[in-house]
Structure 1
Amino acid sequence: MSIDWGDAPTWVAGAFAAAAAYYTRGMLKSQRQQITEQRQFIAEQSANLELERAELRAQADDRRISQARAVWAGRQRGAFVVENGSDAVLRNVTVTFDGMPATSAYEMVDAGIGDIVQFVGDYAGEVVAIGPGRRFAFRSGEEWGPVVDDEVAFFQDEAGVRWRLSGDGVLEEAPEAPS
């Protein structure tokens, strides 16, 4: 038996080519597995990021509305009272009675004797700023006290958001200042 040396290098090259193809096949299989794992990891990360984004949105919404939630408005001592329970200033505070703007407003200051309150100042229906812990009484007309069905306070918070707070405690963002 004699070897045909002319074909031996071809056979050796063929064997190396087969080995390279086998190795390449193994690499491709490994890379496919890595790509699949990376896709799963990216999908998990995307889901985590979406949850974090939703949590951050919820926190931002809570911060945005927290000052407005600290404001109280309701009937007290024959007037419609707005009290700033937040630690920031309220701006451009107005009140409407059945859609009609308040004609005057007075700051309510504790007299230091029991429940006695002094009414200070005379504002023409709109109060430019109500500081933290301060309260103002709004009235419609000359008389204190006609109770109406729809008393609403409008104010702007520190972030510039305009709010609408009804006498029954419903708080919502107001698209524009009342006219």
Structure 2
Amino acid sequence: MGPLQWGDVPTAVGALFAGGAAWFAFQTIKSQRQQIGEQRQFIGEQLRFMAEQQENLTLERAELRAAADDRKWAQARRLEMSHMEAPGTTDGQGRAVVDHWLVVLVNKSDAPVHQVDVRFGTAYTSSEVHDWNPLRSSPTYEPGERLVAPVHLVGPGRAVRFASQQWSSATVHNNRPTVYFTDDSGIRWSLDSYGKLDAVSDGDA
């Protein structure tokens, strides 16, 4: 073995430090890549969790809206309207002539309704309004106490009868009745002679 060549020592030390630096750099990069991978995995898990939470919130909101909508319509759907084209006069041969409408609204809900009125066609209002016994089978029976339209309040289990003006049979047929009322939560409704129930604005009513 020859004498140590001191000229080669700095080169060897430099090579050693360079190798160590490269190894540490490699380990640092490897660690950073691992951390980045873990962060991406964590972010992905968080995004999936947030998406699931958003989906759950959307479903909960939809259920709440459906429940609120059911509550909104619950009372109005329990009001029942019956109507008939009624005879009031006779022709020259003594036959009864249909000349007006009779409309009965029964409140079968457990709360009162307010400002109850009937419109015939688009322009005609009731000529007479009376308290009504909901157990009677025909609107032609003698009504109860006379009321003023619109009827301020119709309590649970109560009914009112509305009569139109007297017209020709054709005018009666062309001016079908629509009932308007405000439920106990303040929503205004219309119920037409075909059974179609709609929430309406005060202007429409």
Q: TM-score normalized by structure 1?
A: 0.82
Q: What is the correspondence of 1:11-160 to structure 2 with a 5 Å cutoff?
A: 11-75=19-83, 79-99=102-122, 100-109=124-133, 119-141=143-165, 148=173, 149-160=175-186
Residue 31 of structure 2 is aligned to residue 5 of structure 1:
no
Aligned CA RMSD, in angstroms, stands at 2.9
Q: Give me the whole-angstrom Cα distance separating, in 2, the residues matched to 1:136 and 1:58.
A: 32
User: Which structure: larger Rg?
Assistant: 2
- Name the CA shift for 1:115/1:151 in 2 (closer, same or farther; >3 Å): closer
Q: Give me the whole-angstrom Cα distance separating, in 2, the residues matched to 1:134 and 1:49.
A: 42
Q: Give me the whole-angstrom Cα distance separating, in 2, the residues matched to 1:29 and 1:122.
A: 83
Q: How many residues in Structure 1 have an aligned counterpart in Structure 2?
A: 175
Q: Give me the whole-angstrom Cα distance separating, in 2, the residues matched to 1:139 and 1:32.
A: 75
User: 5+ residue gaps in structure 2?
Assistant: 87-101
User: 5+ residue gaps in structure 1?
Assistant: none
Shift of 1:133: 0.8
Mapped contact 1:162–1:177 kept (Cα < 8 A): no
Shift of 1:21: 1.4
Mapped contact 2:134–2:158 kept (Cα < 8 A): no
- Name the CA shift for 1:115/1:7 in 2 (closer, same or farther; >3 Å): closer
Q: TM-score normalized by structure 2?
A: 0.73
Mapped contact 1:104–1:126 kept (Cα < 8 A): no
CA deviation string 1:72-124 (max 9, x = no partner):
1112695200111111110110011223111221111379xx86976332222
Shift of 1:162: 0.7
